[in-house]
Amino acid sequence: MSTTATQEDVEKVAAVEHPSYEIVSKDVVTEYGAYCTIYRHKKTGAEILSVHNDDDNKVFGITFRTPPTDSTGVPHILEHSVLCGSRKYRTKEPFVQLLQGSLQTFLNAFTYPDRTCYVLASQNEKDFKNLINVYTDAVFHPRATSDPAVHAQEGWHLELEDKEQPLTYKGVVYNEMKGVYSSPDSRLYRQSQRSIFPSNTYSVDSGGDPKVIPNLSFEDFQQFHAKFYHPANSRIFFWGDDDVKQRLDLMDEYLCEFDESPESKPASVVEWQKKTITEPKWETHLYPVGDDQPETNMVMVNWLLNERPFTPTEDLIVGVLDHLLMGNGQSVLYKTLMESGLGSAITGGGLSDELLQATFSVGLKGVQSENAKKVEELVIKTLEKVLEEGFSDEEIASSMNTIEFRLREFNTGSYPKGLSFMLGAMSKWIYDRKPTDALKFEEPLAELKAMIAENGDAVFRDFLKEYLVNNMHRVTLELAPSKSLESEELKEEQDRLAAIKSSLSDDELDEVIKKTVELKALQASEDSPEDRATIPSLELADLKRDVTEYPIEVSDNESDSGVTVVRHELASTSGIAYVNFAVDTSGVDYNDIALLPIFTRIMTETGAGEYTDVQLSQRIGTHTGGVGVSLMKTSVNPDSVPSYAIYEGNNMISKLSIRGKATSDKTGELFSIFKLILTEAKIDSKKKVVEMLKETKSRIESSIQGSGHSYANTRIKARYSVGGFLDEKMGGISYLSTVNELIKQAETDWDSVLKRLENIRSAILNNATCRSGMILDITGDKAVMDAIKPSVEEFLKSLPGDANGEKLQDFYNTEHPWATKAKEEMASIAPLKDEGFVVPTQVSYVGKGGLLFEEGEKVHGSSAVVSRYLRTGYLWDHVRVIGGAYGGFCTFNPMGGDGVFTFLSYRDPNLDKTIDVYDATADVLLKAAEELENDPEALATAIIGAVGDLDGALSPDQKGNKSFNRWLLRQTPEERQQFRDEILNTKASDFKDFALRLKNMKKTSVSVVSSKAAFESAAKAGKVMELKQVF
């Protein structure tokens, strides 16, 4: 297309004239084929960034600048609250109705330290407009500003049901933030932000400090909305292939009701934090630890980088410098800290540049108190050494290619591309700068390359010197352990509530009880049919009836190599080949499989062949878009059992999956790296392996406190199937004990650990059988596939193993070698009993599950509709809305699997009451089934939501991966279509059938992650569990 034609296209399609708007600017981000027009609404001053392109995954966002002045969490509470009903959409929670019955590919809102974003996406145009209407009415006309019950529910309220009981605080955000503050990492990051921004809005917590949240009055809440949620203070974003004029018309319907508000924008300006700290500071704070947890410290060094906006080229320089220092485990600062032995894991991710001013943070956790100062000294000395010695050409080339590949690929995974574009643009636009400056990289990249060509690494050393080494606006934070802090904070809250209660008269206590009853009654009440009718919805006729299939071509024993090659030729992958090389692991001794997660890291992080760890990392970075290794394990059904039927799980496929991506001209390098790390990875580095194990231990401990629901879920599923048990053994809560044992063994008897690692590689590369278990899976467009043929041929020839060797067992029809041993261990390691796992936390993660389907039974597609209906309906209402947890949901694999159904809660203030909610589910669902018989619209809504889950937008590599997994599971197109048809044809009677199964769920058991105090309280209520102290 010529330049003239492109300009004409922009004028015609992307920059339409509209009487209600003036065009501020037109721009083309050619890097992403995005035609951008900024409009200003004449009446209100609202700004709209309209991006037109050929992406059918359309995105809408509306963002307000919302700088708080205290830590009551008012922006966060407001973000939750505005989605609880509005002027036009009158149900209690339109957001939930949208989740229940939309084809949305993204629907969420998030609170930053200085802004609040409401974002949605859909590939269906009718759905897209419905969602926009609900969100826009919500932010401008929310029920929350006139109904204190919303503030009470989503923010905080005093709860009391009986005068003899103690007062309690409840509220969704209140409990969410109690969970956040239970995480030592979250405490560290929040305190670091406060410390380096002592005098602007970033010195307070926009999410809310649980100790401060109860200070937020309803009047302050109302005023915050009135002040900041005016169109003049909004940035509105559109992305996709929809009609631009219709976008503008739709927004004008809402904006035209408002007048100008000249004070709105100036009132929300985020002030620059001056570098007022002239001598580096040291602060010490506490974090809670358990009785059995090692008393180690966390240390993080923090800098405020800039006092003025960076130019686009400076942004890129700082980004590359960050990658040079912290980009991966072999980057100089990251590597030096990890190899120092001063701590167990890195804390602080280096550069953070999404706010007005960039920061840089790095440190270690698992630090002995006497070594705390040494961590700071090492960080400073390392940076000074880098400043003196500089960066090598190889380091710079690797980091530059890694970042350039990422920019050009623009692979946003499961997130809509438009969302990533919007968030990038907003990093400038929200501060009244040009939004497209954040997305255009060709010019800054060319400028930086020219600067490097002329000045070499001085480009980066100059920045290192100015913004880190010579920058005295630096605060080092130390978090010291306290075994009494958890109980002290609990007592502080109880004392505060007791003081409040004692200050209230009998009449005032009666009023609290009355409000508690009223709020619960409101939360439990059903929306009226009239109110539900206000929510726009799709119809079943709007749904796509057919399953989307993706290309696949399978070549067994390609070129007599003994290797199976699977290809997915897509229309376009932008010249990139996505490759997954799978190698069988069934020969690995069962007693060694707990080492496989570490073995996968060793393959890319310790060096290989003639390459040191740094050299290998540089080679990967210089020639590819990245290489990673993971363990792939999936249960499969025998030929005699349909793919959607329940099977015992003894049959499975286990592979070591080496994944990478490269442009077609670099695929030879990619394959060479694959072979190198598979055959010559340096597995004999004791120091590295011990580091990895300690880092793994630290990660698991942090994850259990922050994501306890996932560990509870894994633990429950471990009791019912071999596959679930192996997931627990290699990554669940019991894996923490295994890692601790491995650390001890590696430190005291390294030779035995090394022998086990050698045995793993020998088993994987067994000369007689390894070729039989190898699969080369490639996704690319036709040009890529044609270009890489010679590289594929050469790779297949070079692989280890005998091309005419023995065939591995038929894993579809014979038991996997690991299954026999796993079954022997299950009863002792994952017993069928109710268990409680004790950790330092202010919230609970409550799980309960059992067998919903038994072996041999086929799962009907309607189960996907029913389980989703529960997740977004009853469980949302009773665990989250009424119970005050941040999340309540259920999990079930409707495509067969193990037949296990689990209930879960997230950051839950309750424990025993949540289990009661779970136990009542079957009866509630039976009643719902009766109601659905006479409510076809509600049934259709449930079906639409389930179909939406099937049809998310996928990136090219995700399409290839989905096609590969379907092939691996031996699902046929006919089976997939039947499953979809069953979803589309779901009846009310299917809900009844599911409810009866729930009522008779077999072998139920409980798994909970919580505090000792919560378990003691639950036991008094009759919910007794076998307790295990995790740390």
pLDDT in tens, 902-936: 999 999 999 999 999 999 999 999 999 999 999 99
- Position 11 scores a pLDDT of 61
Q: Tokens standing for 722?
A: 């071999």
Name the pTM for this structure: 0.94
Length of the chain (residues): 1031
- Position 776 scores a pLDDT of 98
pLDDT digits (tens, 9 = 90+) for 642-680: 888 998 789 999 999 999 999 999 999 999 999 999 999
Is 154 considered catalytic here?
yes
Average pLDDT on 1004-1011 reads 98
Does residue 1 have a pLDDT over 60? no
Which whole-number Å values give the CA distances from 991 to 213, 863, 899, in the listed order?
Answer: 41, 8, 17
For 288-302, 503-517, 782-796, 1003-1017, which range has the lowest pLDDT when averaged over its residues?
288-302
**How is residue 608 annotated by DSSP?**
B
Q: Tokens standing for 23?
A: 């065009």
Question: For 54-77, b where at least 16 C-beta lie within 10 A, e where not — what string?
Answer: ebebbbbbbbbbbbbebbbbbbbb
Question: For 972-1005, b where at least 16 C-beta lie within 10 A, e where not — what string?
Answer: eeebbebbbebbbebebebbbebbebbeebeebb
Among the listed residues 811, 948, 924, the one whose alpha carbon sits nearest the alpha carbon of residue 868 = 948
Does residue 3 have a pLDDT over 80? no
Give start and end residues of each alpha helix (H) in 707-812: 708-717, 722-729, 735-748, 750-764, 782-798
- Cα distance between residue 998 and residue 987, in whole Å: 17
Does residue 114 have a pLDDT over 80? yes
**How is residue 772 annotated by DSSP?**
G
Does residue 2 have a pLDDT over 70? no
- Cβ 688 vs Cβ 337: under 8 Å: no
Average pLDDT on 860-865 reads 97
pLDDT digits (tens, 9 = 90+) for 359-374: 999 999 999 999 999 9
pLDDT digits (tens, 9 = 90+) for 391-401: 999 999 999 99
Does residue 981 have a pLDDT over 70? yes
- Position 290 scores a pLDDT of 84
Average pLDDT on 168-189 reads 94
Does residue 1002 have a pLDDT over 70? yes
Average pLDDT on 88-101 reads 93
**How is residue 46 annotated by DSSP?**
-
Question: For 362-387, b where at least 16 C-beta lie within 10 A, e where not — what string?
Answer: bbbbbbeeebbebbbebbbebbeebb
- Give me Rg for the CA atoms of the chain: 29
- Cβ 698 vs Cβ 344: under 8 Å: yes
- Vertex 595: Cα angle to 588 and 906 (nearest 5): 120
Which whole-number Å values give the CA distances from 758 to 683, 754, 764, 766, 1018, in the listed order?
Answer: 7, 6, 10, 12, 48
Run of H or E residues at 249: helix 244-255
- Position 5 scores a pLDDT of 47
Instruction: Name 39's Cβ contacts closer than 8 Å, sequence gap at least 6.
Output: 18, 21, 22, 23, 24, 47, 48, 50, 248
Does residue 196 have a pLDDT over 60? yes
**How is residue 169 annotated by DSSP?**
E
- Cβ 55 vs Cβ 103: under 8 Å: no
Distance, C-alpha 73 to centroid of its chain: 22
- Cα distance between residue 505 and residue 255, in whole Å: 47
pLDDT digits (tens, 9 = 90+) for 542-581: 999 999 999 999 999 999 999 999 999 999 999 999 999 9
pLDDT digits (tens, 9 = 90+) for 223-271: 999 999 999 999 999 999 999 999 999 999 999 999 999 999 999 999 9
The catalytically annotated residue of 8, 11, 47, 79 is: 79
The catalytically annotated residue of 8, 22, 47, 154 is: 154
Which whole-number Å values give the CA distances from 734 to 288, 289, 720, 725, 730, in the listed order?
Answer: 22, 19, 16, 10, 8
Distance, C-alpha 774 to centroid of its chain: 31
Does residue 93 have a pLDDT over 90? yes
- Strand ranges inside 234-309, DSSP E: 234-240, 281-288, 297-304
- Cβ 792 vs Cβ 664: under 8 Å: no
Average pLDDT on 205-219 reads 98
Does residue 632 have a pLDDT over 50? yes
Is 79 considered catalytic here?
yes
Kindly report the backbone phi and psi dihedral angles of residue 545, in degrees, each rounded to the nearest multiple of 5, phi listed first: -85, -25
Does residue 4 have a pLDDT over 70? no
- Position 6 scores a pLDDT of 54
Among the listed residues 788, 753, 949, the one whose alpha carbon sits nearest the alpha carbon of residue 866 = 949
Q: Please, is 447 exposed, middle or buried when counting C-beta atoms within 10 Å of its C-beta (0-12, 13-18, 19+)?
A: middle
pLDDT digits (tens, 9 = 90+) for 446-483: 999 999 999 999 999 999 999 999 999 999 999 999 99
- Position 14 scores a pLDDT of 85
Does residue 629 have a pLDDT over 90? yes
| Pairing status of strand 34-41 against strand 21-29 | antiparallel
- Position 7 scores a pLDDT of 57
What is the full DSSP assignment across 637-699?
--TTS-TTB---S--EEEEEEEEEEEEGGGHHHHHHHHHHHHHHB----HHHHHHHHHHHHHH
Does residue 186 have a pLDDT over 50? yes
- Cα distance between residue 904 and residue 876, in whole Å: 11
Q: Tokens standing for 889?
A: 């949901």
Among the listed residues 801, 796, 760, 747, the one whose alpha carbon sits nearest the alpha carbon of residue 775 = 796
Query: Percentage of residues in the chain with pLDDT exceeding 70?
Result: 99
Instruction: Quickly state the pLDDT bin for 222 (edges 50, 70, 90).
Output: very high
Q: Please, is 248 exposed, middle or buried when counting C-beta atoms within 10 Å of its C-beta (0-12, 13-18, 19+)?
A: buried
Query: Percentage of residues in the chain with pLDDT exceeding 90?
Result: 95
